[in-house]
A = this chain, B = another copy of it.
Amino acid sequence: MSTAASTAETYETFEDREELESVVIRFAGDSGDGVQVTGGQLTQVTAIAGNDLATFPDFPAEIRAPAGTTYGVSAFQINFGARRIRTAGDQPDVLVAFNPAALKVNIGDMPGGSLIIVDTGAFSDRNMKKAGYETNPLEDQTLDNFRVIEIDISKRTLESVESYGLSQKQALRCKNFWTLGLVYWLYSRDRQPTIDWLNVKFGKLPGIADANIAAINAGHAYGETAELGEEVKGYFVPPAVMPRGLYRTITGADALAYGLVAGANLAGLKLMLGSYPITPASALLHVLAGMKEFGVTTFQAEDEISAVCCAIGASYAGSLGVTSSSGPGVALKTEAIGLAVSTELPLVIVNSQRSGPSTGMPTKTEQSDLYQAVYGRNADAPVPVLAASSPADAFDTAIEAVRIATKYMTPVFLLTDSYIINAAEPWLIPDVSSLPQHKVEFCDDADGFHPFLRDEDTLARVWALPGTPGLEHRIGGLEKDYDSGNISYDPENHHRMTMVRKAKIDGIANDIPEQAVTLGSEEDTVAVVGWGSTYGPINRAVDDLRVEGLPVAHIHVRHLWPLPANMAELLSSFKHVLVAEMNTGQLRTILRSEYLVPAEALNNISGLPFKTTEIKDAVRKLLEG
């Protein structure tokens, strides 16, 4: 563990530097170029520097596409600033392109006048051809409207690591750290945390660590000494004002895992994850697989059905069963989820959504599985649905999902998405031991016992564990008699049981916080309603519009089913309700049917997060029209 204080690098020349409120940097290159690692390091040091930040790692679908192809380009974007940062940024201020393909794929997103850093060493004829450039973009008009820094990074990297006895291939791999050094210089970042990280990471290969450190230092020195041109000088982004406390950066995958473990702890349960790998959900499996010391068991199943069934079995036996997948995998689980509904067992189903339908675009984000979560089962089988709105929020939402699942003896859907899973943001680390407990009490009273005895308030059934003498009982997916828990085909009983299952879930609306207006108030004209990872762009857009004085509010919904009790009233106070979603209008459908509110739709189904401008434009149109 290192803290900012101990390693701070002081840029004596802060006065010379231009102060920026925020900046958006995108790195792009081959999967082999270490783009994600580079981004991760910049994220760390930026967080430590006290900026707020958000990141967006964008992976290619191919594992390691042939070098230099456009479809093999991997990208990482970070937005950091002196103000609260809500998104990874609409448009980058800086693009670092490690090769022609990276330039080709990303240049379209760059606003005129932005800064482009290219490794000229990678602009060989062969690479340009592979990228589909007929003429050299560094020489034709392609970059006319940009500020371009052309450096033969490859060559300079090779020079900087010459003395470490690496092969040419290994040496070239240090390119990303050389570039990072330059970026660190550009934005006054401290190199030390990255140097520490390299020393730990390559502890067993000190040669590699040293070479990378040399590269980073060389890149940094290049910035300090080189003439980068008139328009390019060092920048300085002051720390943001953030709530006090101890921080770290966290990805959604980590936050989810920690939240689930914390939730299980607070319930007094062991956690058992049943999962079958699928992009982007696998990350949760990977993190939890490394947390065995907390009593976590992970089961990599033979398929998604086995995964959810194993989790159900675990819950039956008294653990917290969790299963995790993405849309296509969740589809396979729906029959089994019905069993958990019918047997009223706790279960948390994490869906890390991705672009569909079917295989779709597996590495791209989307939030189009809301219908599936709310309605996607046979029969009347209501299930609570929650969504995390950011990487860090996944921690709290996971705890809430566990609380509801165990208190109400029900499966709970927890929705995240590809963006949340992979992106990182600073996180004010909570004190888990002081969070409110929601300890489970297992039934141990044989007196009048039957397995479908219900709590009067919550309507939850008792949880009696196999192994308990005297409570032997049988449960299953057939309809049960309300009064004995035995199989029943009685018509009125079935109606009653269906209604009590529904009432139990509906009743959760009274056990969750009222829906707050996230930004703005009920006095505003337009409410932009969102859920999940659209939090950032909506919040930023509404914030910006409010600064302009426009009467717009942001309402971000965590509890999607049942919806908070005050929702009807809240929505009715706005003239316009605009539901912004990365799907064709799924929450909108639900709000309309629940409240008969004429909610309007803003949809983006591109596999990429909303741009704040899209949202702003839509709101302006509503206010004008």
Contacts and interface: CB of A to CB of B under 8 A. Distances in A.
Interface in A312-347: 326-332, 334-335, 338-339, 341-343
Interface in A93-140: none
A108 to B, nearest CB: 10
What 6 A-B pairs have minimum CB-CB distances, sorted nearest first? A356-B379, A327-B378, A358-B477, A491-B606, A593-B593, A359-B477
Contact of A479 (B328, B339, B361): B361
A592 interface: yes
Interface string A446-479: 0000000000000000000000000000001111
A327 B334 CA distance: 10
Contacts of A597: 596
Say how many copies of this protein the assembly contains.
2
Contacts of A359: 339, 342, 476-478
A331 B377 contact: yes
Contacts of A478: 61, 358-361
Given A331-B338, A380-B586, A380-B605, 11 more contacts: A61-B489, A326-B378, A331-B378, A339-B358, A355-B479, A360-B494, A364-B494, A494-B605, A502-B584, A589-B593, A592-B592
Nearest to A356: B379
A355 B379 contact: yes
A489 B354 CA distance: 13
Interface stretch (A42-50, A263-271, A367-375): A367-375
A498 interface: yes
Interface residues of A, number: 70
Interface in A560-600: 583-584, 586, 589-590, 592-594, 596-598
Contacts of A327: 338, 378-379
Contacts of A334: 331-332, 334, 376
B592 A479 contact: no
B369 A357 contact: no
Contact of A357 (B338, B584, B608): B338
A584 B501 CA distance: 11
Contacts of A606: 491-492, 494-495
A356 B380 contact: yes
11 contacts: A327-B338, A328-B338, A338-B356, A341-B358, A356-B381, A358-B477, A368-B379, A376-B376, A379-B583, A491-B607, A498-B605
